[in-house]
Amino acid sequence: MARPVNQVNASSTADMAFIILVFFLITSNMDSNSGLQRRLPPMPDKNQKVVDQKVNRRNVLVVRINESDRLFAGGQIIDISMLKDKAKEFLLNPNNDPSLPEKEDKFIEGFGMYPVSKGIISLQNTRGTSYDAYIRVQNELVKAVNEVRNQFALEHFGKSFFALDEAKQEIVRKAIPQNISEAEPKDTGKKY
Amino acid sequence: MIANKKTKTMAPISTSSLPDVVFMLLFFFMITTTIREVTRKVEFKLPEASEAAKLERKDLAAHIYVGTPIRAEQSKYGTDARIQLNDSFKTIDDIRDFIAAERESLSEADKQFMTVCIKADQNVRMGIITDIKQELRRCSALKIMYSARKPESEPSI
């Protein structure tokens, strides 16, 4: 007569699983990798002669943060809450104001001709600027670009920018480029 | 009489599903978290940014930590903001080797997509960040990301 097979005692699996669980809780971190992505300009070649890039003055919006985190945009002191609207106005130039950036008709694949703004936002800071203020300003500028893009997407595709598919997002990105340049540091006197 | 007997002998709660529940939890944590690669030696509170976007490829990120040393290290390194690469405090000049090593660890096709993730405390000065940026430009690691966290609640406009 066959003996009944003993059942494996499974009561300790819970304990084992708990131990593994605790191990993972300790060794892992939840922080999601989120942030503002940027592309740095390449270092100028030493042999290359410095060619003064002719950028029309109306095409540049200089945003400067000084060491006490005061914000200057286009030559005047403004509050950070105003920066987004200023940047949006600068990027859109709805009335073709001669003091705001010019537009260039560009052919965008899959869309057609569109007057793309030549505006560049130049962000300058000093060594004493706090990182928090810098990120807040960066954030406002990105927000301005995102809102302009959203507006464009709603107007032409009837959807918000993030709801579009990849190809259409690319079109919007080309029509409204994110031209935020991080200037060469002005005061490189003291090395950290 | 029978009814009385029933109330006396309560069936014990079955714990046979407990392992399943715990395993479920375990899998949840395994999927949602990433293994911490380095022990943090600096403290930092990331700045807030509402427009922060997620990094698509986490495996292509190289991390540079900037902040004040943790309390245990303060006697040795002071409270000034410092750079941490991998597991130890480094200086600006070490970034070059660090970037080269990180590049080397990626496959040929992924090298161009490497993103340098700058995790800096919100109170550090831009001077140190600018130095890092200049050094990264010199190493031509141009894709960077300023790590930031999303604010908990949307500020009213």
Q: ipTM of this model?
A: 0.73
Give the CATH number of the domain where residue A113 resides: 3.30.420
Which of A90-94, A178-182, B35-39, B54-58 is predicted with the least confidence, judged by mean pLDDT? B35-39
The chain-wide mean pLDDT, for chain B, equals 81
For chain B, say whether A17 makes contact (Cβ under 8 Å).
Answer: yes
Query: What pLDDT is stored for residue B156 in this prediction?
Result: 44
Q: Name the closest residue on chain A to residue B45, using Cα atoms.
A: A132
Q: B128 contacts in A (CB within 8 Å)?
A: 192
Q: Residues of B with CB below 8 A from A134's CB? A: 126, 129
- pLDDT score, position A186: 58
Measured at the alpha carbon of residue A34, what is the angle toward residues A31 and A38, in degrees to the nearest 5?
145
Compute the count of residue pairs across chains A and B with CB atoms less than 8 Å apart.
Answer: 157
- pLDDT tens column, A90-132: 888 877 777 788 777 778 777 778 888 888 888 888 888 888 8
**Cα–Cα distance between A22 and A13 in angstroms, integer?**
14
How much is the pTM?
Answer: 0.75
Task: Give the pLDDT of residue A7.
Answer: 75
Domain span holding position A84: 57-142
- 3.40.50.300, 3.30.70.600, 3.30.420.270, 3.40.50.10860: CATH of B42-146: 3.30.420.270
Over residues A22-63, the pLDDT tens digits come to 888 777 766 667 888 888 877 776 666 555 566 677 788 888
User: Number of structural domains, chain A?
Assistant: 1
Residue closest to A90 by CA, chosen among A174, A183, A176: A176
* Whether B38 contacts chain A with CB within 8 A: no
State how far the Cα of B98 lies from the Cα of B129, in Å rounded to an integer: 16
- How close is the nearest chain B Cα to the Cα of A98, in Å? 30
Q: Does B140 touch chain A (CB under 8 A)?
A: yes
- DSSP secondary structure letter of residue B149: B
| Tokens (6 digits) for B76 | 């040795």
Q: Which of A11, A126, A127 sits opposite B15 (nearest CB)?
A: A11
